[in-house]
Structure 1
Amino acid sequence: MNQAHTGGVSRRNPERSVLRESCGSSIIMDHCGQHHHHHSWKIAAGGGFAPWKVLAKGGGVDDQKEVMANRVFYEGSKKAAGRRYSLVTFKELPEYMKDNEYILGYYRANWPLGEAFFSLFRWHNETLNVWTHLIGFLVFVGLTVANLVELPQVADLLSLFTRSNSTTADTNVSYNSKELLLGAKSFIDLKNITMGQESMRLMTVPLSAATTRWPFFVFLGGSMFCLLSSSTCHLFCCHSHHLNLLLLRMDYVGIAIMIITSFFPPIYYIFQCDPHWQLVYLGGITAMGVFTIATLLSPALSTAKFRTFRAMLFSSMGFFGVVPAVHACVVNWSNPQRPITLAYELVMALSYLTGTAFYVARVPERWRPGWFDLTGHSHQIFHVFVIMGALAHYGAALVFLEWRDKMGCGN
């Protein structure tokens, strides 16, 4: 059959050539007889321009060709300006983005920065990776502000669970008095409350003046940097190869900084009366962190091939904490707060190790490729465990801080 259905125009005519070119350039019309590509749009739908109607109206072939071509390009430019970038499959990704072959779809690739930013409010396989750590970042911002403006009733929320574990009645009285002072000092007339000497000291001495707070805020700052850098990486890593590598390195640096700064509150406050051990342990973990950061700044080590190696580096930094932890238990064996802090730190360690195990093993998506593309894959689980571990360590840091407020080096 040599004639088309549009006004008897030959398939070799220029009009049909234009249509074939349109079909091959992602401008797919209803009459092309092809499936719609992810990046396509319909011109003929909804009262749009239908080229066969122009051809059927008569007129010279050249006139029809010009009208049709101008209208196609006009409609194409108008609709392309407002189109949303579509998601692609793992096979369609550029090589530098192929990290997890068990997540089969819902990827963003080579998106402009503006589109990448607004994908914060779209559903793709990085949405929960972005939001888990973004919410964690906001939580730690809130905790930091609460401590800076001295709102202990908010900042000490986690530590309230530890104060009921005191071993003596006198200790309970002291803790209850402190809770009353810290949690409701702006609502209750403190002059009408009969308090012991310890409670009077807590009322008259500003909380921030009792013990230096900078190690505590170093930890909070490191946690915020890690969570924000991770969230930023997952949001914008789809832009380009160069930015992808840069953000991945920033993400790894953030993890290392979070691990380093986590050591500051326990080591500083436990060994506050022995600065020699402060220097040894804090210097040791800082040196390990700097080595890890320098190693991971290599572009080659940012690839999926070295996933296990990166996890081993971060885990080795965490296991370094076993040495000062054992030392601290020996030094503070008679401290009634020791079981509480150990419980917090055990929760932190288990959270980090469990999250790392999911990260390395790539489960559950390994068992059912494609089932967990949007929700429930290993990296999202890893993020949740990181936040749990950070909050557990925050609880331990509050206990250390409270203990050092009460106990001087002479006690």
Structure 2
Amino acid sequence: MQTFNCFTKPVHCTHQPGAGTLEKKHVLLKGKDVPVFVREDSIYTGYRTTLGYTECIKSVFRLHNETVNIWSHFLGFLYFGFLLCINIFQSHPHNRSSADLIAVCIQLVTYQICMILSSMFHTFLCHSERVKYKWKEADHSGILIALWGTYTRIIVTNFSCFPSWLLFHLLLVTILFSLVFLQRWWNREKRQKGGVELYLFLALSMYAVAPLAHWLSISPTLVHNNTTAQKIFWILVPYGLGGLGLFFYISRIPERIVPPGQVDLCGASHQLWHIFILAGMVSWYDLTCWLSTTRPQSCQLISSF
């Protein structure tokens, strides 16, 4: 059965003198030929053999079933690094104060941390079972860090006219995420192979509703309140992108509905998850820049008398 039909043809081992060791490192394997810890549900082909750290890094520049996962987030890491540099060295209308600049730097640095840890996990997961799950833990921590960075930017932007509430929400979010990190570290031996605690990530993601709802409730107290239905709509866009990514992550579509091997190298659900996560982060950055640029120029409150 033909399985490598996305970008390449099946790779077969040859036995030319002096080429055996090199070709064994480069050959792509079927799922039944690799250790259990490397196998992914409904992914049948395109696996790397067990590799050392150096060979794992070299494999980044070859095509296999982790190539898209590695490069989608490594390119994201570079993109957010570019945005970080232009925010630091150039003036922008969304950076109206030093607090704005600090918040946008936190957002972009945490996005970079998430992107590079994800890319490293997918690079080294074929090294050994122990190494895979150590990097998987780091990968999941990166998601939490990026969520905290997103909340920080949103809170600083939306509550700029309400400094007391700004500090309250920042403190609350930081405490919440710190407790989650402590809980994960404390129970790290009890979790099975660093599996995704999906309910935890969903709960933390949905917590954003609380500060956003509070912001919407107090915005009308401003004389120059410009909170509109348009802004509320665009705030929902990153959630929509995240929801689509989550759909592919959970459903394992399309690999579960297409002939075996058709999307092993490109188009698999985890690769789509990566793309939607990156798109969600880009949209959060663009959205918060827009919110910061269009927020009221004056923080004058409506008189209660």
**Given the two structures, how large is their TM-score scaled by the length of structure 2?**
0.83
Aligned to 1:243: 131
Superposed CA RMSD in Å reads: 2.6
Is the CA contact (8 Å cut-off) linking 1:311 and 1:356 kept in structure 2?
A: no
Pairwise CA distance, 1:273: 3.6
Aligned to 1:89: 30
- Residue type at the aligned position of 2:37: Y
Aligned to 1:142: 82
Of Structure 1 and Structure 2, which has the larger fraction of its residues in helix?
Answer: 1
Is the CA contact (8 Å cut-off) linking 2:242 and 2:276 kept in structure 1?
A: yes
Q: Provide the identity percentage.
A: 26
> For residues 3-402 of structure 1, what are the structure 2 equivalents within 5 Å?
40-43=14-17, 78-80=18-20, 82-83=22-23, 85=25, 86-98=27-39, 100-150=40-90, 152=92, 209=97, 212-297=100-185, 298=188, 301=191, 303=193, 306-307=195-196, 310-333=197-220, 335-368=225-258, 369-402=260-293
- Secondary structure class of the residue paired with 1:83: helix
> What is the alpha-carbon distance in structure 1 between the residues aligned to residue 211 and residue 153 of structure 2?
12
- Residue type at the aligned position of 1:95: V
Is the CA contact (8 Å cut-off) linking 1:252 and 1:293 kept in structure 2?
A: no
> What is the alpha-carbon distance in structure 2 between the residues aligned to residue 284 and residue 332 of structure 1?
20
- Residue type at the aligned position of 1:276: S
- Residue type at the aligned position of 1:235: T
- Secondary structure class of the residue paired with 1:326: helix
For these two proteins, the number of residue pairs brought into alignment is 284
Larger RCO, structures 1/2 (Cα 8 Å, 6+ apart) = 2
Q: Structure 1: which 5+ residue stretches go unaligned?
A: 1-36, 44-77, 160-206
Pairwise CA distance, 1:236: 1.4
- Secondary structure class of the residue paired with 1:121: coil
- Residue type at the aligned position of 2:201: F
> What is the alpha-carbon distance in structure 2 between the residues aligned to residue 210 and residue 101 of structure 1?
47
Pairwise CA distance, 1:291: 3.7
- Residue type at the aligned position of 2:56: A
Q: 1:255 to 1:302 in 2, by over 3 A?
A: farther
Pairwise CA distance, 1:340: 4.4
**Given the two structures, how large is their TM-score scaled by the length of structure 1?**
0.63
**Rg (Cα) greater in structure:** 1
Pairwise CA distance, 1:90: 1.5
- Secondary structure class of the residue paired with 2:247: helix
Q: 1:256 to 1:367 in 2, by over 3 A?
A: same
